[in-house]
Structure 1
């Protein structure tokens, strides 16, 4: 893997780190199986790209993308909370609807951003004037944005409101018994989660210079892979540890995929990306159980040995 390919892999891993944060909020914190991210990710990209092409300031376009992603989450929450639709089905309905809406937003299946100003353009110009490669500056900007997002999530979950958010995912009946509004927590959690995913979609479009209606296919699996892989490798109960773990999990996942594809390991090709993702998620899910079983087996052997010695 070349140096520039390595930088590109780190960049895309950080961009999808925002997706991992969003998936962490729904699956781990709220215990809400949300597939909306497959629709909110391309919606963030579509809104940002359309706004930039229309001459809107890139930062404003990115903010609009975050709001569009959050709106997707609110629709899913409304279907689940207000209409009583099963969580998984509610998110699938929103995801399907978002596909058509994204085409409406862009007016066509994809939009190119070549030659358009993005949030990275000033930094790339600065790098060019200094005789440096713009990809390094772009990577630093993405890193700072992800760090700020992770810091915000950590502070939020450590607050009193965040405690209610986490309690809703653990025991919603207890929260209601204490006078808490579980519906409010669900609305907020899903809006924030998909807002982060929309933010990731906007960064994806601006770093890759295009937005495509199919770019969200498999996003939920990538997010789950990052969350499961990160928390398997870096276990911990503290909030900041979990946040760092899911971001690092996204980076490690992308590095593993890039290495497997670039090295030609097992004859893998770029079209095998979803297969690699599914295998990594399966391994990450099985690993903790195998570790627990091995520990139990070791304890049983030691107890049997102790009885024989006695």
Structure 2
């Protein structure tokens, strides 16, 4: 029998993971929605950030410094993808695949730093290091409330949304948005389109790597499979947030908040799926199905839900008379 109490007890973990992955989803939003680029680099960056963060902490550096280095490592990966795309003329999708492929080997070397050989995983214990977030803080009542990963996940998400809202209101941020909306017109207005694409990819992958650093601390380890399918989760969060909140969240900051809510909803759905005892081997299929359904919703709405059209005059004479009446009334 299904135990409802087990489902309730697992929901806080879903919220915490949703907030952490929400940062990653914001990074995906920057490329997918703003730059109009499907960037597959994130599958590799999602491991790189965690690997850098874990190894920095293990080697005696503070957690803030480790997270900063993870962010910079992600930006470096985005820089490579951007240069492959802009300087070498490689399509953005293929450039992301090439960088992602390269990062697999780099991630092995990062996790095996100092051992002389690559490692596929690396663990980090909350008992030994003072981590920012950890699943132990969530489920072990001996830790104070301010250690809650839900609290810190919300703080990180809020800070990132505020910073991005400010940045994309600047001249540089507006030029990036213009580049994604219409690159030809932006180029005609004197905007350096290639530079903006590279910068957007760097910011996106930096956020993905930062999310990975937090995720590695939360789950207590990082391995080469951490980023596998990350782009699907990121797209799921973006699409869910867009479908459910686009009508009420019109402001740019609220749209980013909707992406975070989308990630939380995604992980809550995953918790329900696990509670229903669905085969865990099928989770990737379910993830793809969720994304496909939410991607199809706007198409189904446009095709099957009639759009209300304002009443129009039946003929030209009626249109002219209606115009005259309006002018006379004015």
- 8 Å contact 1:47–1:65 — kept in the other structure? yes
Q: Please, which of 249, 252, 259 is the counterpart of residue 272 of structure 2?
A: 259
TM-score, reference length from structure 2: 0.84
Aligned positions of 1:232-251 closer than 5 A: 232-235=243-246, 236-251=249-264
CA distance, structure 1, for counterparts of residue 209 and residue 281 of structure 2:
25
Given the two structures, how large is their TM-score scaled by the length of structure 1?
0.89
The answer to whether 1:59 aligns with 2:88 is no
- How many residue pairs match? The answer is 296
Larger relative helix fraction: 1
Q: Which has the higher mean CA deviation after the structures are superposed, 46-55 or 130-139?
A: 130-139
Greater alpha carbon shift after TM alignment, 85-94 vs 154-163:
154-163
- In 2, distance between residues paired with 1:255 and 1:215? 19
| Stretch of structure 1 that moved more, 233-242 or 245-254 | 233-242
- Does residue 168 of the first structure (1) align with residue 179 of the second (2)? yes
Distance 2:12 2:146 in 1: 7
Within 5 Å, give how 1:263-302 maps onto structure 2. Answer: 263-264=276-277, 268-296=278-306
Residue 164 of structure 1: how far off its partner (Å): 0.6
Secondary structure, aligned partner of 2:122: strand
CA distance in 2 between counterparts of 1:136 and 1:120 reads 7
Kept in 2: contact 1:52–1:116 (CA 8 A)? no
- 1:137: how far off? 2.0
* Pairwise CA distance, 1:244: 1.0
Q: CA offset at residue 104 of structure 1?
A: 0.4
**Aligned match of 1:199:** 210
Aligned to 1:190: 201
* SS, match of residue 158 in structure 1: coil
**Residues 96-148 of structure 1 deviation map (CA, whole Å, 9 limit, x = unaligned):** 000000000111111110233144279x89x99x9556696222112101110
Secondary structure of the corresponding residue to residue 168 of structure 2:
helix
How far, CA to CA, are the matches of 2:122 and 2:65 in structure 1?
Answer: 18
The equivalent of 1:117 in structure 2 is: 129
Give the unaligned 5+ runs of structure 1: none
* Residues 35-44 or 144-153, more deviating: 144-153
